[in-house]
Chain A
Amino acid sequence: MIIPHPLLGPCDAQEFTYLGDASLIARPDGMAEGAADAFYDYLYLRDNPAGLHRELWYHEQGDRSWLVVTRNTLTHEIVTVELARDVARAEGRGR
């Protein structure tokens, strides 16, 4: 596969490490009420779509960017690639 890195252009998937569902960005607050249940959902309950899937890839043999790659799991077509940092900020994560 070739992943179009938003900063570096097309890169071979061999340069990357795969982590999994991009919902891992949405880490719950560990100090909040009901944190145990929230973490259970966060860690163990994932969708396994046949189709578009947002997932985390790490450019380990490159610039160390974490990317959110939207990939069709049926065709491996890559629809969008974003810096995970930008996605995290857009989802309201900050400090």
Chain B
Amino acid sequence: MRLQQGGQIDRGQKISFRFDGQYYKGHPGDTLASALLANGVRLMGRSFKYHRPRGVLAAGSEEPNALVELRTGGRQEPNTRATMVELFDGLQAMPQNAWPSLRFDALAINDRFSNFLTAGFYYKTFMWPAAFWEKLYEPIIRRAAGLGSITTQPDPDAYDKGYLHCDLLVIGAGPSGLMAALTAGRAGARVILADEDFRMGGRLNADRQSIADMAGADWAAQAVAELAQMPHVRLMPRCTVFGAFDHGIYGAVERVSDHLLTPQPGKPRQTLWRIYSKRALVCAGAIERPIAFANNDRPGIMLAGALRAYANRWAVSPAQDVAIFTNNDDGHRTAADLMALGVHVAAVIDTRPDAPPLAGTAVLAGAQVTDSAGRLGVRAVTVRLANGQSRKLAVGALGVTGGWNPNLGLTCHQRGRPVWEEGIAAFIPGAALAPGMAVAGAAMGHFSTHAALATGAEAARAALADLGHSAPAPDLPRTEDAPTRITPFWHVAGTQRAWLDFQNDVTIKDVKLAHQEGFEAVEHLKRYTTLGMATDQGKTANLGGLAVMAELTGQSIAQTGTTMFRPPYTPVALGALAGRSSGRDFRPTRLTPSHHWAREQGAVFVEAGLWLRAQYYPRAGESHWRESVDREVLATRASVGVCDVTTLGKVDVQGRDAAEFLNRIYCNGMAKLAVGRVRYGLMLREDGIVFDDGTAARLAEDHFVVTTTTANAVAVFRHMEFARQCLWPDLDVQLISTTEAWAQFALAGPKSRAVLERLVDGGVDLSNAGFPFMACAELTICNGCRARLFRISFSGELAYELAVPARYGDALIRKIMEVGAEYDITPYGTEALGVMRIEKGHAAGGELNGTTTARNLGLGRMVSTAKDSIGAVLSRREGLVAPEGLELVGLRPANPQSQIPAGAHLLAQGAALVAANDLGHVTASCYSPNLGSYIALGFVKNGAARMGETLRAASPLTGVDLEVQITSPHFYDPEGERLRA
């Protein structure tokens, strides 16, 4: 019900929203939780395991119970805490975990079987038979358990990422945070003040005490207004700092549009901030903890501080008649605040025999609440008085407080270890905090408002002094400075079904069971009972569970210790972590210089790393990709084809010692390569395995151009820089990656020279004698365009690679097509490239897969023994040179029209298909239009010695099992006459 007056809500405006199919009204300033309570809705969900009726427990982000599915369609979001949802017009929310309805939940039957559903139930019950897990147990459990459901529709909203820097990051805008920000801001420091709430002020908005003779909330508003005037201070409401990371970096999520029906055009829903702070001050306040007693989970039973917050901030009370159950003075303050607002407080049940009196209500000193009644919400509570008598109180709400815990979360993210503070009966942050981090106010255990203001100001001054600035001590406004008076009391004795963790349905009985079965350590307790897991991470539950365990083991809570808190402080949407990196923007797309031209030709593209490459160029009438690829291969071998090979990595190597450097990088000799010549090069890793292959072209005595495979371009460059800087720092050699700088095209086929002659400017002898196989030159084409020409061949044909500065790539492909028209020049894609290389037996990705050696590839003799090069020594290791090693071979099927599946395993004929009989495997496979047969490459033990043998190629994955014959991997033109033509 809404109270007659007060509250930081705009009573002049009404906004309508829908919960569980019903329409309700609320006011701007409401949360979903406060608006539901204002409408008399106490029942908001069902519990995780027993499907018990649940209402709201807290008023902030620690809420374990009131989880709803917010919004609909692609924007639907499960496990949203109703306490954190800022009410907006048109809001729709559904309760979770209830079927068929919230008021009647069929699975509430679980509650009757609670004797069986205790901790470890799943572990013990569903162990056998194992095969039943996937098909029977798991689907049943998954349907019954779980919290909410996710939408299967794509999220229509955008998420952003941003970076911020500051001198002082203040986390939390309660009294200590505001005072810290004011102190640092007035001194001119760059300050960021972040708070998860949409209204800054923290407990000042929820309490009634005054500051400087004005309401706490008004003082907070005044402080925020002053800060907003400071250009070097950034106020970030609706912004949760969720993680403390290394070196003063904090992660934060700003809910930019979550308080709107849909984001404004061009605005993200949320922004993930990476905040670089020189100093950080945690002013995250404290979280109240409940007291466990029988049936303490009914809707209407909530934390006393939350009851007070709803009344003061939102002018809401769940009922007209309430009671307070407390072990500390703060419970009395709640009772006083409620009475001041016209709520009837039936009694304050205080566990302390020496509890102080309170005007206006009965304080039952030394009493305890032993039980509650009410089907879908509390109607009455049973109180055991100090004299042992029982009394029933008819109340619609019970505020419970077992004391306050400093909010430790962020202080633990960097190895911080909390310590027990007897005076407040709670853990406070330990001395070893993350570098640059300090804690002030209630988060440090200073619970009075005065102490919060004082420590906030002091911590800000200390942080600034650390940075070499000075800030004057502010005049602290006058406010309450009550001591913390508490007598620890965790649970009412003699009850089993008393809830410790509301979200995970963990009761005292479960902790006892964990103890009985030896799961005593806090981390074991957590995992065995699920205490402190899921979306709230036990913010209200952990200490109660630890206290019960401490009792059982006879240790103190300090000895028992606490579980650690890790990021994130509250759940972070995956969308926020992904930012803009989703869908087609998941990663960058790199386009080749001929991409636009290829698209005009109707090319089909394939992803090669980040690149999009033309896979093949279908022509009218071709209905299957094989038709296109066969045509491209045949046309290239018959006349001439052209292919964009820009994606190959290119490294410019310059300097007096360039040749010596490459001689150590490649396992084969490079030192004596003549100027104007190219050599194939094989790079090993230091462990002797093949790293990459490519070509090295010597353009001048002190200038090489090295190519790498597309996939390894980055890794090879990194490796070369490592060798240059770390291994041989005094070699005179410089490296530049020029992959993007040069557009490069392969011209292949017997007519490639004729095409080239129409491009290259006069005066260059391109004849076989003048520019032989493995020649290279810098020259000009098309009347003065700078170019590099390499006579190298991956296809096995007479072939060249022609490179021009990347900006001329598009013009060059068009020119090549124009002058090549006379020879029916055919553009070919990566498929035809692959077919031709398999026909020639050239190694590529399938063979250079990071597990193979030069010997495996038939290139063992390339590894020079006359010099030291990277990987040379370990390539001669016993295991790598043993007989029976894998060797690259060609494979042909008995029936030329039978496809050999890549990945198929090779076995002796008749051998059983078991790993022990494995002789090798197929690495690459294609149809060769030149041979009119399917062919393949593969590795076979002692392959070279097995030429002509027939093996069994079996692929259990595809169900193919056929006979193949071992041949030379050089299917086509094995003597290499064509490429030297």
A residues contacting B by CB (< 8 A) are: 1-2, 13, 17, 19, 24-25, 27-31, 35-36, 39-40, 42-43, 56, 58, 60, 64-66, 74-78, 83-85, 87-89, 93-95
Task: Tell me how far the C-beta of B437 lies from the nearest C-beta in chain A, rounded to whole angstroms.
Answer: 13
Give the chain B neighbours of A29 by CB distance below 8 A. 868
Q: Which residue of B lies closest to A83 (CB)?
A: B725
Which residues of B sit under 8 angstroms from A2, Cβ to Cβ?
246-249, 276
Contact B728 A95 (CB under 8 A): yes
Residue in chain B with minimal CB distance to A27: B727
Q: Which of B693-730 contact A (CB under 8 A)?
A: 714, 718, 721-722, 725-730
B589 to chain A, nearest CB (A): 19
A66, B726: Cβ atoms closer than 8 Å: yes
In the complex, the answer to whether B873 meets A93 with C-beta atoms within 8 Å is no
Contact status A1-B721, CB under 8 Å: no
Across-interface contacts of B727 in A (CB, < 8 A): 25, 27, 88, 93
A17 to B460, CA, bound (A): 36
Would you list which residues of chain B between 560 and 598 have a CB under 8 Å from chain A? none
**Inter-chain contact B730/A75, CB cutoff 8 Å:** no
Knowing A35-B873, A36-B873, A76-B247, the reply to whether A88 touches B725 (Cβ < 8 A) is yes
For B657, list chain A residues within 8 Å (CB). 95
Among B248, B687, B725, B868, the residue within 8 A (CB) of A84 is B725
Please, what's the 1-or-0 string for B841-869, where 1 marks a CB less than 8 Å from any CB in chain A? 00000000000000000000000000111
Asked if B3 is at the interface (CB within 8 A of a chain A CB), the reply is no
Please tell me if B619 contacts chain A, counting CB pairs below 8 Å. Answer: no
> What's the Cα separation between A65 and B726 when bound, in Å?
10
- Report the bound CA distance from A2 to B5 in whole Å: 52
Q: B469 at interface (Cβ–Cβ under 8 A)?
A: no
Pair A65/B725 contact, Cβ less than 8 Å = yes
Indicate if the CB atoms of B718 and A36 lie closer than 8 Å.
no
| Set of chain B residues within 8 Å of A83, measured between Cβ atoms | 725
Say how far A79's CB is from chain B's closest CB, in angstroms. 12
Contact between B726 and A75, CB atoms less than 8 A apart: no
Indicate if the CB atoms of B718 and A58 lie closer than 8 Å.
yes
16 A–B contacts, CB within 8 A, in A order: A2-B246, A2-B276, A28-B873, A31-B867, A36-B873, A39-B686, A43-B687, A56-B722, A56-B726, A60-B718, A64-B721, A75-B414, A85-B726, A89-B729, A95-B728, A95-B731
Q: Given A64-B721, A76-B246, does the pair A94, B873 have CB atoms closer than 8 Å?
A: no
Q: Which residues of A contact B731 (CB under 8 A)?
A: 95
State the CA gap A28–B874 with chains docked (Å).
Answer: 12
Kindly list chain B residues whose C-beta atoms are within 8 Å of the C-beta of A74: 415
B349 at the interface (CB under 8 A from A): no
| B730 contact set on A, CB distance < 8 A | 89, 93-95
Determine the residue in chain A with the shortest Cβ distance to B274: A12
Question: Does B602 sit at the interface, judged by CB under 8 A?
Answer: no
Residue of B nearest to A25 (CB): B726
Q: When the two chains form the complex, which single residue of B247, B718, B867, B872 contacts A1, counting CB atoms closer than 8 Å?
A: B247
Known contacts A17-B718, A40-B874, A95-B657; 10 further A-B pairs (Cβ under 8 A): A13-B246, A19-B722, A36-B873, A56-B726, A58-B721, A64-B721, A75-B415, A77-B435, A94-B729, A95-B730
Q: Does B11 contact A (CB under 8 A)?
A: no
Q: Does the CB pair A39–B873 fall under 8 Å?
A: yes
CA distance A28 to B718 in the complex (A): 20
Task: Report the contact-size class of chain B (Cβ under 8 Å from the partner).
Answer: 20 to 34
Separation of A89 and B724 alpha carbons in the complex (Å): 12
CB distance from A60 to the nearest CB of B (A): 6
Nearest Cβ distance between residue A62 and chain B, in whole angstroms? Answer: 12
Residues of A within 8 A of B249 (CB): 1-2
A2 to B873, CA, bound (A): 37
0 or 1 for each of B249-263: is its CB under 8 Å from A? (1 = yes):
100000000000000
| Shortest distance between the CB of B250 and any CB in chain A (Å) | 13
B599 contacts chain A at the CB level, 8 A cutoff: no
CB distance from B245 to the nearest CB of A (A): 8
A85 touches B415 (CB 8 A): no
**Cα separation A31 to B865 with both chains bound (whole Å):** 9
Residue of B nearest to A88 (CB): B729
Chain B 725-749 per-residue mask, 1 if CB under 8 angstroms from chain A, else 0: 1111111000000000000000000
CB neighbours of A84 from chain B (8 A): 725-726
Chain A residue nearest in CB terms to B735: A64
Contact of A39 among B246, B721, B725, B874 (CB under 8 A): B874
Q: Is B877 part of the contact surface with A, judged by Cβ < 8 Å?
A: yes
Q: Return the 7 tightest CB-CB contacts between A and B, nearest first.
A: A30-B868, A94-B730, A2-B247, A1-B246, A85-B729, A76-B246, A66-B725
Nearest Cβ distance between residue B749 and chain A, in whole angstroms?
A: 39
- Complex CA gap A42/B248 in Å reads 36
Contact between A66 and B722, CB atoms less than 8 A apart = yes
A27–B276 alpha-carbon span in the complex (Å)? 38
CB neighbours of A58 from chain B (8 A): 718, 721-722
Measured between alpha carbons, how far is A36 from B873 in the docked complex, in Å? Answer: 6
Residue numbers in B under 8 Å from A66 (CB-CB): 721-722, 725-726
A88 to B876, Cβ gap below 8 A?
A: no
In Å, the complex CA distance between A42 and B415 comes to: 33
Q: How far is the CB of A2 from chain B (nearest CB, A)?
A: 4
Q: How far is the CA of A71 from the CA of B199 in the complex (A)?
A: 41
Q: How far in angstroms is the closest Cβ of chain A from B368? A: 46
**C-alpha gap A85/B731 in the complex (Å):** 11
Contacts of B872 in A (CB 8 A): 30
Which residue from chain B places its CB closest to the CB of A32 in the assembled complex?
B868
A93 with B869, Cβ < 8 A, contacts A17-B718, A66-B721 known:
no
Closest residue to A84 on the B side, CB-wise?
B726
Query: Residue on A with the closest CB to B872?
Result: A30
Asked if B869 and A30 make an inter-chain contact with CB atoms under 8 angstroms apart, the answer reads yes
A77–B247 CA distance with the chains assembled, in angstroms: 8
Chain B residues with Cβ below 8 Å from A94 are 728-730
When distances are taken between beta carbons in the complex, the residues of chain B under 8 Å from A43 are: 686-687, 874
Closest residue on chain B to residue A89 by CB atoms: B729
Roughly how many angstroms separate A64 CA and B735 CA in the complex, as a whole number? 10
Chain B residues in 8 Å Cβ range of A60: 714, 718
- For B714, the chain A residues whose CB sits under 8 A away are 60
Q: How far is the CA of A87 from the CA of B276 in the complex (A)?
A: 30
A50 CB, nearest partner CB in chain B, Å: 12
Tell me whether A88 and B726 are in contact (CB under 8 A): yes
Q: Which chain B residues border A25 with CB–CB below 8 Å?
A: 726-727
Contact A30/B873 with A2-B276, A84-B726, A93-B728 known, Cβ cut-off 8 Å: yes
How far in angstroms is the closest Cβ of chain B from A55?
A: 12
**Cα–Cα distance between A29 and B728 once the two chains are bound (Å):** 12
Q: Which residue of A lies closest to B276 (CB)?
A: A2
For B247, what are the chain A residues with a Cβ–Cβ distance below 8 Å?
1-2, 76, 78
Q: Which residue of A lies closest to B657 (CB)?
A: A95
When distances are taken between beta carbons in the complex, the residues of chain B under 8 Å from A89 are 729-730
- Shortest A53–chain B CB gap in Å is 15
Residue-wise, chain B 946-973 has the 8 Å CB interface mask toward A (1 for contact) of 0000000000000000000000000000
B85-128 CB mask vs A (1 if < 8 Å, else 0) is 00000000000000000000000000000000000000000000
| Closest A residue, CB atoms, query B247 | A2
Q: What's the minimum C-beta distance from B413 to chain A, rounded to whole angstroms?
A: 12
Complex alpha-carbon distance, A13 and B874, angstroms: 32
Q: Kindly report which residue of chain B lies nearest to residue A74, judged by CB atoms.
A: B415
From B726, B868, B877, contact of A31 by CB (8 A): B868
Tell whether A36 pairs with B726 under 8 Å between CB atoms, given A1-B247, A17-B718, A95-B731.
Answer: no
- In the bound complex, CA of A94 to CA of B876 (Å): 26
Q: Which of A2, A19, A39 has the most CB of B within 10 A?
A: A39
A11 to B249, CA, bound (A): 12
CA distance A30 to B871 in the complex (A): 9
Contacts of B721 in A (CB 8 A): 58, 64, 66
A36, B877: Cβ atoms under 8 Å? yes
A52 to B103, CA, bound (A): 60
Roughly how many angstroms separate A82 CA and B324 CA in the complex, as a whole number? 63
Residues of A within 8 A of B868 (CB): 29-31
Q: How far is the CA of A1 from the CA of B727 in the complex (A)?
A: 27
Question: CA of A13 to CA of B729 in the docked complex: distance in angstroms?
Answer: 24
Q: How far is the CA of A84 from the CA of B722 in the complex (A)?
A: 9
State the CA gap A17–B517 with chains docked (Å).
47
